[in-house]
Amino acid sequence: MSASPSAPSPPPRRTLKLELCFDGLAFSGWQVQPSQPNTRTVQGELQAAACRITGESVTVLGCGRTDAGVSALRQVATFRTESLLPCEKLLLALNANLPAEIRVLAVSEVPPSFHPIADIARKRYRYLLSDSRPVFPLLKDRVWFTRSRFETEPMRAAAVHLLGTHDFAAFQTTGSPRTSTVRTLYAVDFAHYPIPEIWAPRRAEGLPPLEILSIEVEADGFLYNMVRAIVGTLVLFGQRHGGYEDPKLMKQILESKDRAQAGPTAPAHALYMLDALYGGPNGAPAAGSAD
């Protein structure tokens, strides 16, 4: 009697890298919340879409856990699957199964060793704010319209003291667990943009143009709410708010490691993850090519 043929071995698991963008206003952050199963999250939507396509229960691991209201222009994530669907078909299938607030930009196969968090070299975020008056209602959920006017030059001068490797404990939300609060900040870049003419109301002659200030922050990693705390503090310098007239005070705030010494946490809705930068062959483009 001949032996029964052995069952065919399952196909090898592939590691797929996703590059995606999403509108954070539609979600309660990136991470699935097991205690609140009916809460919409970016991770939850991606996992549900991947499950429908592959028939597998997958875990999508992102390079950062953005808060509720925070959007991403380029986020990187991975998941493992036995599906043999080509990457280009997976891209189409994922977008067909995702809500309109999430779009996958690219799918590629990477080595199993690739890790979207451990392998990251730098991350870059963009924050949008404006002191233009009147407050422009069509952008109220995309830009932080501050209550008071601010000047950019004192903000630039204060930001210089943040560059380099420091303990950023003064700029993290109290109680967030971190092994170390030391990070290296590579850039704090300022740029002014006019509100696109197609959106802007007609201005009376002689009035200044409506403008948005972009602050882009790049580091090897960020503490919880670090970018928003930095922006909230910079705005105080820009407004020359009581006690924040001298930009050199930023160095003292940094060295204090005391969150109470820094400014408020800027609103989440105006923060955008701009890019995740990797140094390996499967990484992202170099900084500046894209938060």
> Does 5 have pLDDT greater than 80?
no
Q: Set out the domains of the chain in order of their start, with CATH numbers.
A: 14-110 (3.30.70.580), 120-278 (3.30.70.660)
Cα(2)–Cα(289) distance, rounded to whole angstroms?
Answer: 63
**Mean pLDDT (whole number) for 160-170:** 97
Residue with tokens 């959106």: 199
The residue from 67, 167, 189, 220 that is catalytic is 67
Looking at residue 291, its pLDDT comes to: 26
> Does 260 have pLDDT greater than 90?
yes
Query: Is omega for the bond preceding 281 within 30 degrees of 0, making it cis?
Result: no
Question: With contact defined as beta carbons under 8 Å apart, do 215 and 272 qualify?
Answer: no
> Does 283 have pLDDT greater than 80?
no
> Does 289 have pLDDT greater than 60?
no
Looking at residue 78, its pLDDT comes to: 97
CA angle 49, 27, 42 (to 5 degrees): 35
**Mean pLDDT (whole number) for 123-134:** 92
What value does the mean pLDDT of the chain take?
Answer: 89
Residue with tokens 């705390």: 229
Q: What is the DSSP string of 200-256?
A: SPPPPTTPPPPEEEEEEEEES---TTHHHHHHHHHHHHHHT-TT---TTHHHHHHHH
Residue 190: phi and psi, rounded to 5, are -110, 140
Active site residue 67: yes
Q: Model's pTM, two decimal places?
A: 0.89
Cα(87)–Cα(139) distance, rounded to whole angstroms?
Answer: 36
Angle between helices 152-159 and 249-256 (to 10 degrees): 50
Q: Output the six-digit token pair for 104.
A: 């996958």
